[in-house]
A and B are shown apart, each in its own frame.
Chain A
Protein backbone atom coordinates (compact mmCIF):
# COMPACT_ATOMS: atom_id res chain seq x y z
CA UNK A 1 0.00 0.00 0.00
CA UNK A 2 1.48 3.30 -1.13
CA UNK A 3 1.05 6.05 1.52
CA UNK A 4 3.45 8.98 0.87
CA UNK A 5 4.82 10.64 4.01
CA UNK A 6 4.46 14.23 2.84
CA UNK A 7 0.66 14.14 2.54
CA UNK A 8 -2.28 14.37 4.96
CA UNK A 9 -5.26 12.03 4.83
CA UNK A 10 -8.97 11.70 5.65
CA UNK A 11 -10.97 8.74 6.92
CA UNK A 12 -12.77 8.72 3.58
CA UNK A 13 -9.44 8.08 1.82
CA UNK A 14 -8.74 11.48 0.31
CA UNK A 15 -5.22 12.93 0.37
CA UNK A 16 -4.14 16.55 0.50
CA UNK A 17 -0.79 18.16 -0.23
CA UNK A 18 -0.46 21.55 1.42
CA UNK A 19 1.88 24.14 -0.12
CA UNK A 20 1.50 27.57 1.48
CA UNK A 21 -2.14 28.59 1.11
CA UNK A 22 -2.73 26.10 -1.69
CA UNK A 23 -3.71 22.47 -1.45
CA UNK A 24 -3.77 19.73 -4.07
CA UNK A 25 -6.34 17.01 -3.38
CA UNK A 26 -7.06 13.51 -4.64
CA UNK A 27 -7.98 10.00 -3.53
CA UNK A 28 -5.54 7.53 -2.02
CA UNK A 29 -4.01 4.41 -3.49
CA UNK A 30 -6.18 2.41 -1.08
CA UNK A 31 -9.30 4.15 -2.44
CA UNK A 32 -8.45 3.58 -6.10
CA UNK A 33 -7.64 -0.04 -5.35
CA UNK A 34 -10.94 -0.65 -3.52
CA UNK A 35 -12.94 1.07 -6.26
CA UNK A 36 -11.37 -0.89 -9.10
CA UNK A 37 -11.08 0.54 -12.60
CA UNK A 38 -12.42 4.08 -12.55
CA UNK A 39 -14.53 4.87 -15.59
CA UNK A 40 -15.97 8.32 -14.97
CA UNK A 41 -15.27 11.39 -12.87
CA UNK A 42 -17.31 14.48 -12.00
CA UNK A 43 -14.94 17.23 -10.81
CA UNK A 44 -15.68 20.54 -9.08
CA UNK A 45 -15.54 23.64 -11.30
CA UNK A 46 -12.89 26.32 -10.81
CA UNK A 47 -14.38 29.05 -8.63
CA UNK A 48 -16.57 26.59 -6.71
CA UNK A 49 -16.42 26.74 -2.93
CA UNK A 50 -15.83 23.39 -1.25
CA UNK A 51 -16.29 22.64 2.41
CA UNK A 52 -14.29 20.23 4.56
CA UNK A 53 -15.91 16.76 4.68
CA UNK A 54 -18.58 17.83 2.18
CA UNK A 55 -19.05 16.62 -1.40
CA UNK A 56 -16.51 17.86 -3.92
CA UNK A 57 -16.37 15.18 -6.62
CA UNK A 58 -17.88 11.87 -7.73
CA UNK A 59 -15.97 8.92 -9.11
CA UNK A 60 -17.56 5.98 -10.82
CA UNK A 61 -15.89 2.62 -11.22
CA UNK A 62 -17.03 -0.64 -12.72
CA UNK A 63 -18.31 -1.55 -9.25
CA UNK A 64 -19.96 1.60 -7.89
CA UNK A 65 -20.26 5.37 -7.87
CA UNK A 66 -18.72 7.07 -4.84
CA UNK A 67 -18.67 10.59 -3.52
CA UNK A 68 -15.35 12.25 -2.76
CA UNK A 69 -15.26 14.74 0.10
CA UNK A 70 -13.06 17.82 0.33
CA UNK A 71 -10.25 17.30 2.86
CA UNK A 72 -10.13 21.07 3.47
CA UNK A 73 -12.47 24.01 2.85
CA UNK A 74 -11.58 26.50 0.17
CA UNK A 75 -12.06 27.75 -3.35
CA UNK A 76 -11.28 25.57 -6.34
CA UNK A 77 -8.55 27.20 -8.43
CA UNK A 78 -8.06 24.43 -10.92
CA UNK A 79 -9.50 20.98 -11.65
CA UNK A 80 -7.53 18.23 -13.33
CA UNK A 81 -9.60 18.11 -16.53
CA UNK A 82 -7.20 15.55 -17.97
CA UNK A 83 -9.08 13.01 -15.78
CA UNK A 84 -12.34 13.55 -17.68
CA UNK A 85 -10.95 11.77 -20.74
CA UNK A 86 -8.44 9.65 -18.85
CA UNK A 87 -9.95 8.52 -15.54
CA UNK A 88 -7.49 5.61 -15.60
CA UNK A 89 -4.83 8.10 -14.42
CA UNK A 90 -6.40 7.83 -10.95
CA UNK A 91 -5.74 4.07 -10.98
CA UNK A 92 -2.26 4.45 -12.43
CA UNK A 93 -1.04 7.37 -10.38
CA UNK A 94 -3.35 8.31 -7.52
CA UNK A 95 -0.90 10.75 -5.94
CA UNK A 96 0.61 12.33 -9.02
CA UNK A 97 -1.10 12.66 -12.43
CA UNK A 98 -4.35 11.44 -10.82
CA UNK A 99 -4.78 14.61 -8.69
CA UNK A 100 -8.34 15.98 -8.59
CA UNK A 101 -8.16 19.70 -7.86
CA UNK A 102 -6.08 22.57 -6.59
CA UNK A 103 -7.79 24.68 -3.95
CA UNK A 104 -7.06 27.94 -2.13
CA UNK A 105 -7.23 26.99 1.54
CA UNK A 106 -9.84 28.92 3.54
CA UNK A 107 -8.79 27.84 7.02
CA UNK A 108 -5.49 26.11 7.64
CA UNK A 109 -6.72 25.29 11.17
CA UNK A 110 -8.85 22.50 9.66
CA UNK A 111 -5.58 20.62 9.16
CA UNK A 112 -5.89 19.36 12.75
CA UNK A 113 -8.77 17.08 11.66
CA UNK A 114 -6.59 15.25 9.14
CA UNK A 115 -4.29 12.26 9.66
CA UNK A 116 -0.59 12.08 8.89
CA UNK A 117 0.78 9.14 6.91
CA UNK A 118 1.54 7.06 10.03
CA UNK A 119 -1.97 7.55 11.44
CA UNK A 120 -3.57 6.85 8.07
CA UNK A 121 -1.54 3.68 7.63
CA UNK A 122 -2.73 2.44 11.04
CA UNK A 123 -6.30 3.41 10.13
CA UNK A 124 -6.20 1.46 6.87
CA UNK A 125 -4.69 -1.58 8.56
CA UNK A 126 -7.48 -1.45 11.13
CA UNK A 127 -10.07 -1.55 8.34
CA UNK A 128 -8.84 -4.77 6.81
CA UNK A 129 -8.96 -6.66 10.12
Chain B
Protein backbone atom coordinates (compact mmCIF):
# COMPACT_ATOMS: atom_id res chain seq x y z
CA UNK B 1 0.00 0.00 0.00
CA UNK B 2 1.25 3.48 -0.90
CA UNK B 3 1.26 6.42 1.46
CA UNK B 4 -0.36 9.56 0.10
CA UNK B 5 3.15 11.09 -0.08
CA UNK B 6 4.20 8.30 -2.40
CA UNK B 7 1.27 9.05 -4.67
CA UNK B 8 2.50 12.62 -5.09
CA UNK B 9 3.39 13.78 -8.63
CA UNK B 10 5.13 17.15 -9.21
CA UNK B 11 2.68 19.79 -10.34
CA UNK B 12 -0.53 17.81 -9.71
CA UNK B 13 -3.15 19.98 -8.02
CA UNK B 14 -6.43 19.50 -6.25
CA UNK B 15 -7.68 23.06 -6.68
CA UNK B 16 -6.74 26.40 -8.13
CA UNK B 17 -6.28 29.59 -6.14
CA UNK B 18 -7.34 32.86 -7.76
CA UNK B 19 -4.60 35.17 -9.05
CA UNK B 20 -3.14 37.36 -6.32
CA UNK B 21 -4.25 40.92 -6.98
CA UNK B 22 -2.54 42.56 -4.02
CA UNK B 23 1.19 43.06 -3.35
CA UNK B 24 2.85 40.08 -1.64
CA UNK B 25 4.12 41.18 1.75
CA UNK B 26 4.85 39.43 4.99
CA UNK B 27 5.85 40.71 8.41
CA UNK B 28 7.10 37.26 9.40
CA UNK B 29 10.77 37.54 10.50
CA UNK B 30 13.00 35.45 8.23
CA UNK B 31 14.18 33.26 11.11
CA UNK B 32 10.66 31.89 11.52
CA UNK B 33 10.24 31.11 7.84
CA UNK B 34 10.86 27.71 6.30
CA UNK B 35 14.10 27.36 4.40
CA UNK B 36 12.38 25.09 1.93
CA UNK B 37 8.69 24.74 1.06
CA UNK B 38 6.88 22.10 3.16
CA UNK B 39 7.00 18.72 1.51
CA UNK B 40 3.25 18.27 1.00
CA UNK B 41 1.85 15.62 -1.31
CA UNK B 42 0.86 16.91 -4.74
CA UNK B 43 -2.32 15.04 -5.57
CA UNK B 44 -5.68 15.58 -7.23
CA UNK B 45 -8.96 15.67 -5.34
CA UNK B 46 -9.80 12.23 -6.71
CA UNK B 47 -6.43 10.90 -5.50
CA UNK B 48 -7.28 12.12 -2.00
CA UNK B 49 -10.82 10.76 -2.01
CA UNK B 50 -9.71 7.33 -3.29
CA UNK B 51 -6.79 7.17 -0.90
CA UNK B 52 -8.88 7.78 2.20
CA UNK B 53 -11.93 5.83 1.01
CA UNK B 54 -9.73 2.79 0.46
CA UNK B 55 -7.96 3.29 3.78
CA UNK B 56 -11.31 3.49 5.58
CA UNK B 57 -12.31 0.17 4.01
CA UNK B 58 -9.39 -1.44 5.83
CA UNK B 59 -10.87 -0.47 9.19
CA UNK B 60 -11.60 -3.42 11.43
CA UNK B 61 -14.28 -2.92 14.05
CA UNK B 62 -17.12 -4.61 15.88
CA UNK B 63 -19.35 -3.17 13.16
CA UNK B 64 -17.50 -5.23 10.53
CA UNK B 65 -16.24 -8.39 12.24
CA UNK B 66 -16.10 -10.50 15.41
CA UNK B 67 -13.75 -8.94 17.96
CA UNK B 68 -13.20 -11.30 20.93
CA UNK B 69 -10.41 -9.23 22.46
CA UNK B 70 -10.33 -10.53 26.04
CA UNK B 71 -10.63 -8.04 28.91
CA UNK B 72 -11.86 -5.33 26.54
CA UNK B 73 -15.56 -6.30 26.30
CA UNK B 74 -15.88 -5.43 22.61
CA UNK B 75 -19.65 -5.73 22.53
CA UNK B 76 -21.72 -4.16 19.80
CA UNK B 77 -22.58 -0.51 20.43
CA UNK B 78 -26.24 -0.06 19.44
CA UNK B 79 -26.72 2.85 17.06
CA UNK B 80 -29.75 4.39 18.74
CA UNK B 81 -27.44 5.68 21.49
CA UNK B 82 -25.56 7.71 18.86
CA UNK B 83 -28.87 9.27 17.88
CA UNK B 84 -29.64 10.14 21.48
CA UNK B 85 -26.19 11.68 21.95
CA UNK B 86 -26.62 13.81 18.84
CA UNK B 87 -29.91 15.37 19.94
CA UNK B 88 -29.38 19.12 19.62
CA UNK B 89 -30.54 19.81 23.17
CA UNK B 90 -27.50 17.87 24.36
CA UNK B 91 -24.92 18.26 21.63
CA UNK B 92 -25.25 22.03 21.20
CA UNK B 93 -25.05 22.80 24.90
CA UNK B 94 -22.00 24.83 25.95
CA UNK B 95 -20.18 23.03 28.76
CA UNK B 96 -19.71 26.28 30.69
CA UNK B 97 -23.43 27.01 30.74
CA UNK B 98 -24.30 25.38 34.08
CA UNK B 99 -21.43 27.25 35.73
CA UNK B 100 -22.78 30.67 34.74
CA UNK B 101 -25.17 32.57 36.97
CA UNK B 102 -28.63 31.28 36.13
CA UNK B 103 -27.17 29.09 33.35
CA UNK B 104 -27.94 25.91 35.24
CA UNK B 105 -31.63 26.44 34.56
CA UNK B 106 -30.86 26.26 30.82
CA UNK B 107 -29.08 22.92 31.23
CA UNK B 108 -31.56 21.05 33.43
CA UNK B 109 -31.89 18.07 31.09
CA UNK B 110 -28.16 17.40 30.99
CA UNK B 111 -27.76 17.86 34.73
CA UNK B 112 -30.63 15.46 35.25
CA UNK B 113 -28.89 12.86 33.06
CA UNK B 114 -25.74 13.16 35.21
CA UNK B 115 -27.79 12.97 38.40
CA UNK B 116 -29.82 9.98 37.20
CA UNK B 117 -26.94 7.90 35.86
CA UNK B 118 -25.15 8.29 39.20
CA UNK B 119 -28.25 6.88 40.86
CA UNK B 120 -28.53 4.04 38.32
CA UNK B 121 -24.86 3.07 38.61
CA UNK B 122 -25.18 3.16 42.40
CA UNK B 123 -28.15 0.83 42.25
CA UNK B 124 -26.44 -1.56 39.83
CA UNK B 125 -23.26 -1.79 41.92
CA UNK B 126 -24.49 -1.29 45.47
CA UNK B 127 -22.33 1.79 46.02
CA UNK B 128 -23.59 4.95 47.77
CA UNK B 129 -22.59 7.55 45.18
CA UNK B 130 -20.81 7.96 41.85
CA UNK B 131 -18.84 10.60 40.04
CA UNK B 132 -19.04 10.47 36.26
CA UNK B 133 -16.01 12.70 35.78
CA UNK B 134 -13.09 10.29 35.14
CA UNK B 135 -12.39 10.19 31.41
CA UNK B 136 -11.34 6.53 31.13
CA UNK B 137 -10.93 3.39 33.23
CA UNK B 138 -7.36 4.12 34.26
CA UNK B 139 -8.33 7.69 35.13
CA UNK B 140 -11.10 6.24 37.28
CA UNK B 141 -8.60 3.98 39.02
CA UNK B 142 -6.28 6.86 39.81
CA UNK B 143 -9.25 8.89 41.08
CA UNK B 144 -10.31 5.91 43.23
CA UNK B 145 -6.85 5.49 44.76
CA UNK B 146 -6.68 9.25 45.40
CA UNK B 147 -10.01 8.97 47.26
CA UNK B 148 -8.53 6.16 49.34
CA UNK B 149 -5.47 8.29 50.11
CA UNK B 150 -7.71 11.26 51.06
CA UNK B 151 -9.74 9.04 53.38
CA UNK B 152 -6.69 7.69 55.24
CA UNK B 153 -5.17 11.16 55.45
CA UNK B 154 -8.40 12.53 56.88
CA UNK B 155 -8.22 9.85 59.57
CA UNK B 156 -4.65 10.87 60.37
CA UNK B 157 -3.21 7.66 59.01
CA UNK B 158 -0.09 7.17 56.94
CA UNK B 159 -0.61 3.94 55.08
CA UNK B 160 2.10 2.89 52.69
CA UNK B 161 1.15 0.11 50.31
CA UNK B 162 -1.58 -1.29 48.09
CA UNK B 163 -2.04 -5.04 47.64
CA UNK B 164 -2.61 -6.27 44.09
CA UNK B 165 -2.69 -9.83 42.67
CA UNK B 166 -0.21 -10.82 39.96
CA UNK B 167 -3.10 -11.48 37.56
CA UNK B 168 -4.27 -7.83 37.73
CA UNK B 169 -4.57 -5.42 34.84
CA UNK B 170 -1.35 -3.42 34.55
CA UNK B 171 -3.27 -0.22 35.26
CA UNK B 172 -3.87 -1.31 38.90
CA UNK B 173 -0.24 -1.16 40.04
CA UNK B 174 0.32 1.86 37.81
CA UNK B 175 -2.58 3.78 39.44
CA UNK B 176 -1.44 2.86 42.95
CA UNK B 177 2.15 3.87 42.19
CA UNK B 178 1.16 7.19 40.59
CA UNK B 179 -0.93 7.96 43.69
CA UNK B 180 2.22 7.45 45.79
CA UNK B 181 1.76 3.95 47.16
CA UNK B 182 4.13 1.03 47.15
CA UNK B 183 2.69 -1.98 45.36
CA UNK B 184 2.73 -5.41 47.04
CA UNK B 185 2.09 -8.19 44.52
CA UNK B 186 0.32 -11.38 45.66
CA UNK B 187 0.81 -14.59 43.64
CA UNK B 188 -2.02 -16.68 42.23
CA UNK B 189 -2.58 -20.13 43.74
CA UNK B 190 -2.91 -23.38 41.82
CA UNK B 191 -6.65 -22.90 41.31
CA UNK B 192 -6.21 -19.47 39.77
CA UNK B 193 -7.21 -17.45 42.84
CA UNK B 194 -5.43 -14.97 45.08
CA UNK B 195 -3.02 -16.94 47.30
CA UNK B 196 -4.76 -16.47 50.67
CA UNK B 197 -1.71 -17.33 52.78
CA UNK B 198 0.48 -14.81 50.98
CA UNK B 199 -2.36 -12.27 51.16
CA UNK B 200 -2.75 -12.64 54.92
CA UNK B 201 1.00 -12.27 55.35
CA UNK B 202 1.12 -9.08 53.30
CA UNK B 203 -1.92 -7.49 54.92
CA UNK B 204 -1.19 -5.16 57.85
CA UNK B 205 -1.80 -1.71 59.37
CA UNK B 206 0.21 -0.16 56.53
CA UNK B 207 -2.11 -1.53 53.84
CA UNK B 208 -4.07 1.36 52.32
CA UNK B 209 -6.14 -0.77 49.97
CA UNK B 210 -6.56 -4.08 48.20
CA UNK B 211 -7.28 -3.74 44.47
CA UNK B 212 -9.15 -6.65 42.93
CA UNK B 213 -10.92 -7.52 39.72
CA UNK B 214 -13.76 -10.00 40.19
CA UNK B 215 -14.23 -12.01 38.09
CA UNK B 216 -10.50 -11.69 37.63
CA UNK B 217 -8.47 -11.58 34.44
CA UNK B 218 -8.54 -15.38 34.28
CA UNK B 219 -12.32 -15.16 33.96
CA UNK B 220 -12.84 -16.69 37.40
CA UNK B 221 -15.08 -15.47 40.22
CA UNK B 222 -13.25 -15.78 43.52
CA UNK B 223 -15.53 -17.68 45.96
CA UNK B 224 -13.54 -16.25 48.90
CA UNK B 225 -14.05 -12.64 47.87
CA UNK B 226 -16.08 -11.83 51.00
CA UNK B 227 -13.42 -13.29 53.28
CA UNK B 228 -10.75 -11.27 51.45
CA UNK B 229 -12.76 -8.09 51.94
CA UNK B 230 -13.42 -8.81 55.62
CA UNK B 231 -9.73 -9.42 56.27
CA UNK B 232 -8.83 -6.09 54.62
CA UNK B 233 -11.43 -4.21 56.63
CA UNK B 234 -10.10 -5.92 59.77
CA UNK B 235 -6.85 -3.97 59.44
CA UNK B 236 -8.54 -0.75 58.34
CA UNK B 237 -7.67 -1.14 54.64
CA UNK B 238 -10.18 -0.28 51.90
CA UNK B 239 -11.30 -2.57 49.08
CA UNK B 240 -11.01 -1.34 45.49
CA UNK B 241 -13.07 -3.04 42.78
CA UNK B 242 -11.68 -2.85 39.26
CA UNK B 243 -14.92 -2.80 37.28
CA UNK B 244 -13.29 -3.92 34.03
CA UNK B 245 -15.12 -7.24 34.24
CA UNK B 246 -18.45 -5.96 35.53
CA UNK B 247 -20.11 -7.29 32.37
CA UNK B 248 -20.09 -10.75 33.95
CA UNK B 249 -22.14 -10.02 37.06
CA UNK B 250 -24.85 -7.43 36.32
CA UNK B 251 -27.84 -8.13 38.51
CA UNK B 252 -26.14 -11.20 39.97
CA UNK B 253 -24.05 -9.62 42.67
CA UNK B 254 -23.04 -6.10 43.64
CA UNK B 255 -19.51 -5.06 44.60
CA UNK B 256 -20.96 -2.78 47.30
CA UNK B 257 -22.73 -5.72 48.96
CA UNK B 258 -19.54 -7.80 48.95
CA UNK B 259 -17.78 -5.04 50.86
CA UNK B 260 -15.95 -3.06 48.20
CA UNK B 261 -15.47 0.57 49.20
CA UNK B 262 -14.42 2.12 45.88
CA UNK B 263 -14.83 1.01 42.29
CA UNK B 264 -14.70 2.22 38.75
CA UNK B 265 -16.83 1.19 35.79
CA UNK B 266 -15.66 1.24 32.20
CA UNK B 267 -18.79 2.58 30.49
CA UNK B 268 -17.16 1.72 27.15
CA UNK B 269 -17.07 -1.93 28.18
CA UNK B 270 -20.12 -2.91 30.22
CA UNK B 271 -22.44 -0.18 29.01
CA UNK B 272 -21.72 -0.43 25.30
CA UNK B 273 -20.18 2.94 24.49
CA UNK B 274 -17.36 3.18 21.94
CA UNK B 275 -13.82 2.21 22.96
CA UNK B 276 -10.57 4.16 23.15
CA UNK B 277 -9.58 5.27 19.66
CA UNK B 278 -13.20 5.49 18.59
CA UNK B 279 -14.28 6.61 22.04
CA UNK B 280 -13.57 8.59 24.09
CA UNK B 281 -14.00 6.36 27.15
CA UNK B 282 -15.51 7.02 30.53
CA UNK B 283 -14.59 5.59 33.94
CA UNK B 284 -17.14 6.67 36.57
CA UNK B 285 -16.07 6.01 40.16
CA UNK B 286 -18.42 4.78 42.85
CA UNK B 287 -17.83 4.94 46.59
CA UNK B 288 -19.34 3.69 49.82
CA UNK B 289 -20.90 6.11 52.32
CA UNK B 290 -17.71 6.99 54.21
CA UNK B 291 -15.94 8.18 51.05
CA UNK B 292 -18.74 10.30 49.55
CA UNK B 293 -17.40 13.59 50.95
CA UNK B 294 -14.07 13.10 49.18
CA UNK B 295 -15.51 12.77 45.66
CA UNK B 296 -14.22 15.25 43.07
CA UNK B 297 -16.07 18.50 42.44
CA UNK B 298 -18.44 19.45 41.05
CA UNK B 299 -21.27 17.27 42.37
CA UNK B 300 -24.69 17.31 40.75
CA UNK B 301 -27.39 17.87 43.35
CA UNK B 302 -31.15 17.95 43.32
CA UNK B 303 -32.62 20.93 45.07
CA UNK B 304 -35.76 20.79 47.23
CA UNK B 305 -37.79 22.26 44.35
CA UNK B 306 -36.77 19.38 42.08
CA UNK B 307 -34.29 21.36 39.95
CA UNK B 308 -30.68 20.28 39.45
CA UNK B 309 -27.52 22.24 40.12
CA UNK B 310 -23.76 21.88 40.41
CA UNK B 311 -22.38 21.99 43.93
CA UNK B 312 -18.77 23.06 44.48
CA UNK B 313 -18.94 23.58 48.25
CA UNK B 314 -17.25 20.33 49.26
CA UNK B 315 -14.29 21.15 51.51
CA UNK B 316 -13.16 17.52 51.88
CA UNK B 317 -13.21 16.88 48.12
CA UNK B 318 -10.04 15.81 46.34
CA UNK B 319 -10.84 18.67 43.94
CA UNK B 320 -10.88 18.74 40.17
CA UNK B 321 -9.83 15.66 38.28
CA UNK B 322 -11.24 16.55 34.86
CA UNK B 323 -12.59 19.58 33.04
CA UNK B 324 -16.35 19.95 33.26
CA UNK B 325 -18.31 16.74 33.94
CA UNK B 326 -16.48 13.90 32.21
CA UNK B 327 -17.11 12.75 28.65
CA UNK B 328 -20.74 13.77 28.64
CA UNK B 329 -21.58 12.26 25.24
CA UNK B 330 -20.33 8.87 26.43
CA UNK B 331 -22.25 9.13 29.70
CA UNK B 332 -25.37 9.98 27.72
CA UNK B 333 -24.98 6.88 25.50
CA UNK B 334 -24.48 4.64 28.54
CA UNK B 335 -27.55 6.20 30.18
CA UNK B 336 -29.64 5.49 27.08
CA UNK B 337 -28.27 1.93 26.95
CA UNK B 338 -29.10 1.22 30.60
CA UNK B 339 -32.62 2.64 30.30
CA UNK B 340 -33.30 0.74 27.10
CA UNK B 341 -32.17 -2.65 28.44
CA UNK B 342 -33.71 -2.14 31.85
CA UNK B 343 -33.12 -4.41 34.81
CA UNK B 344 -34.04 -7.66 33.08
CA UNK B 345 -32.10 -6.74 29.94
CA UNK B 346 -28.91 -6.05 31.85
CA UNK B 347 -29.17 -9.35 33.73
CA UNK B 348 -29.76 -11.15 30.45
CA UNK B 349 -26.75 -9.42 28.87
CA UNK B 350 -24.48 -10.73 31.64
CA UNK B 351 -25.96 -14.21 31.46
CA UNK B 352 -25.42 -14.40 27.72
CA UNK B 353 -21.89 -13.00 27.98
CA UNK B 354 -21.04 -15.79 30.45
CA UNK B 355 -22.83 -18.39 28.31
CA UNK B 356 -20.93 -17.33 25.16
CA UNK B 357 -17.56 -17.57 26.91
CA UNK B 358 -18.35 -20.98 28.38
CA UNK B 359 -19.52 -22.22 24.99
CA UNK B 360 -16.15 -21.22 23.49
CA UNK B 361 -14.27 -22.80 26.39
CA UNK B 362 -16.22 -26.03 26.16
CA UNK B 363 -15.74 -26.43 22.43
CA UNK B 364 -12.06 -25.44 22.45
CA UNK B 365 -10.80 -27.13 25.61
CA UNK B 366 -9.73 -30.30 23.80
CA UNK B 367 -7.61 -28.29 21.38
CA UNK B 368 -6.10 -25.68 23.69
CA UNK B 369 -5.34 -26.16 27.38
CA UNK B 370 -7.69 -24.09 29.59
CA UNK B 371 -5.59 -21.95 31.96
CA UNK B 372 -7.59 -22.85 35.06
CA UNK B 373 -10.72 -24.70 35.93
CA UNK B 374 -13.61 -26.22 34.03
CA UNK B 375 -15.81 -23.19 33.59
CA UNK B 376 -15.41 -19.45 33.38
CA UNK B 377 -17.35 -16.22 33.67
CA UNK B 378 -17.48 -13.73 30.77
CA UNK B 379 -14.12 -14.67 29.23
CA UNK B 380 -12.01 -17.79 28.95
CA UNK B 381 -8.24 -18.03 29.04
CA UNK B 382 -6.69 -20.76 26.91
CA UNK B 383 -3.04 -21.64 26.50
CA UNK B 384 -1.19 -22.54 23.30
CA UNK B 385 1.25 -24.59 25.37
CA UNK B 386 0.46 -27.79 23.47
CA UNK B 387 1.07 -26.01 20.16
CA UNK B 388 4.42 -24.75 21.46
CA UNK B 389 5.76 -28.28 21.11
CA UNK B 390 5.41 -27.81 17.34
CA UNK B 391 7.05 -24.39 17.61
CA UNK B 392 3.71 -22.59 17.23
CA UNK B 393 3.14 -19.63 19.54
CA UNK B 394 -0.06 -17.85 20.61
CA UNK B 395 1.12 -15.04 18.32
CA UNK B 396 1.06 -17.34 15.26
CA UNK B 397 -2.49 -18.44 16.03
CA UNK B 398 -3.54 -14.80 16.51
CA UNK B 399 -2.07 -13.87 13.12
CA UNK B 400 -3.83 -16.80 11.45
CA UNK B 401 -7.19 -15.63 12.86
CA UNK B 402 -6.67 -12.30 11.09
CA UNK B 403 -6.53 -14.20 7.80
CA UNK B 404 -9.80 -15.86 8.74
CA UNK B 405 -11.50 -12.48 9.28
CA UNK B 406 -11.51 -12.46 13.08
CA UNK B 407 -9.87 -10.05 15.43
CA UNK B 408 -7.46 -12.16 17.51
CA UNK B 409 -8.12 -12.68 21.20
CA UNK B 410 -5.86 -10.91 23.68
CA UNK B 411 -2.55 -12.77 23.79
CA UNK B 412 0.21 -13.02 26.41
CA UNK B 413 -2.16 -11.67 29.07
CA UNK B 414 -2.67 -12.50 31.90
CA UNK B 415 1.10 -12.75 32.10
CA UNK B 416 0.96 -15.63 34.58
CA UNK B 417 -0.43 -17.93 31.87
CA UNK B 418 2.08 -19.32 29.37
CA UNK B 419 1.16 -18.55 25.74
CA UNK B 420 -2.15 -17.09 26.93
CA UNK B 421 -5.09 -16.46 24.60
CA UNK B 422 -7.94 -14.63 26.28
CA UNK B 423 -11.28 -14.91 24.50
CA UNK B 424 -14.17 -12.61 25.43
CA UNK B 425 -16.99 -13.10 22.94
CA UNK B 426 -19.57 -10.86 24.73
CA UNK B 427 -23.33 -11.31 24.69
CA UNK B 428 -23.96 -9.61 21.37
CA UNK B 429 -22.62 -12.39 19.12
CA UNK B 430 -24.81 -15.08 17.59
CA UNK B 431 -24.11 -18.79 17.92
CA UNK B 432 -23.24 -18.88 14.20
CA UNK B 433 -20.52 -16.27 14.70
CA UNK B 434 -19.13 -18.11 17.72
CA UNK B 435 -19.15 -21.38 15.75
CA UNK B 436 -17.28 -19.83 12.84
CA UNK B 437 -14.64 -18.45 15.21
CA UNK B 438 -14.35 -21.78 17.02
CA UNK B 439 -13.91 -23.60 13.69
CA UNK B 440 -11.08 -21.23 12.78
CA UNK B 441 -9.44 -21.82 16.16
CA UNK B 442 -9.74 -25.59 15.70
CA UNK B 443 -8.27 -25.30 12.21
CA UNK B 444 -5.31 -23.43 13.67
CA UNK B 445 -4.83 -26.21 16.22
CA UNK B 446 -4.88 -28.81 13.42
CA UNK B 447 -2.46 -26.77 11.31
CA UNK B 448 -0.11 -26.53 14.28
CA UNK B 449 0.16 -30.32 14.08
CA UNK B 450 0.16 -30.80 10.32
CA UNK B 451 1.58 -27.66 8.73
CA UNK B 452 2.90 -25.17 11.30
CA UNK B 453 4.67 -23.16 8.58
CA UNK B 454 1.30 -21.76 7.43
CA UNK B 455 0.76 -20.33 10.89
CA UNK B 456 4.26 -18.85 11.02
CA UNK B 457 3.63 -16.98 7.77
CA UNK B 458 0.18 -15.62 8.58
CA UNK B 459 -1.37 -13.21 7.86
CA UNK B 460 -1.20 -13.61 4.09
CA UNK B 461 -4.48 -11.93 3.12
CA UNK B 462 -3.74 -8.50 4.55
CA UNK B 463 -2.16 -5.50 2.78
CA UNK B 464 0.63 -5.72 5.36
CA UNK B 465 2.06 -9.18 5.98
CA UNK B 466 3.71 -10.46 9.17
CA UNK B 467 5.41 -7.55 10.90
CA UNK B 468 8.85 -7.85 12.42
CA UNK B 469 7.76 -6.66 15.86
CA UNK B 470 11.27 -6.88 17.27
CA UNK B 471 12.71 -4.70 14.53
CA UNK B 472 9.80 -2.27 14.89
CA UNK B 473 10.53 -1.94 18.61
CA UNK B 474 14.32 -1.75 18.26
CA UNK B 475 14.45 0.55 15.25
CA UNK B 476 11.13 2.40 15.20
CA UNK B 477 10.45 4.08 11.88
CA UNK B 478 7.83 6.63 12.82
CA UNK B 479 7.55 9.00 9.90
CA UNK B 480 7.79 9.05 6.17
CA UNK B 481 10.87 10.69 4.69
CA UNK B 482 11.47 11.49 1.07
CA UNK B 483 14.36 9.59 -0.43
Which residues of A pack against B, CB within 8 Å? 37, 39-40, 60, 62-64, 87-88
With both chains docked as a complex, state the minimum distance between the C-beta of A13 and any C-beta of chain B, in angstroms: 15
A6–B412 Cα distance when bound, in Å, is 34
Q: Is the CB of B470 within 8 A of A64?
A: no
Residues of A within 8 A of B415 (CB): 64
List residues 400-437 of chain B with CB under 8 A from any CB of chain A: 412, 415
A87–B412 Cα distance when bound, in Å, is 21
Main secondary structure on B side of the interface with A: helix
Question: Is B469 positioned at the interface, with any CB of A under 8 Å from its CB?
Answer: yes
With both chains docked as a complex, state the minimum distance between the C-beta of B146 and any C-beta of chain A, in angstroms: 25
Chain B residue at minimal CB-CB distance from A34 = B418
Residues of B within 8 A of A64 (CB): 412, 415
Residues of B within 8 A of A63 (CB): 412
Residues of A within 8 A of B469 (CB): 37, 62
Question: Is B290 positioned at the interface, with any CB of A under 8 Å from its CB?
Answer: no
Q: Is the CB of A39 within 8 A of B412?
A: no
List residues 447-478 of chain B with CB under 8 A from any CB of chain A: 469-470, 473-474
Chain A residue at minimal CB-CB distance from B415 = A64
A1–B474 Cα distance when bound, in Å, is 26
Residues of B within 8 A of A60 (CB): 473
A63–B414 Cα distance when bound, in Å, is 11
A37–B470 Cα distance when bound, in Å, is 6
Q: Is the CB of A88 within 8 A of B474?
A: yes
**Given A39-B473, A62-B470, A62-B473, 15 other A-B contacts at CB below 8 A?**
A37-B469, A37-B470, A37-B473, A39-B470, A39-B474, A40-B473, A40-B474, A60-B473, A62-B469, A63-B412, A64-B412, A64-B415, A87-B474, A88-B470, A88-B474
With both chains docked as a complex, state the minimum distance between the C-beta of B419 and any C-beta of chain A, in angstroms: 10
Residues of B within 8 A of A62 (CB): 469-470, 473
Residues of A within 8 A of B412 (CB): 63-64
A60–B170 Cα distance when bound, in Å, is 14
A63–B473 Cα distance when bound, in Å, is 11
A37–B469 Cα distance when bound, in Å, is 9
A62–B398 Cα distance when bound, in Å, is 15
Residues of A within 8 A of B474 (CB): 39-40, 87-88
With both chains docked as a complex, state the minimum distance between the C-beta of B89 and any C-beta of chain A, in angstroms: 47
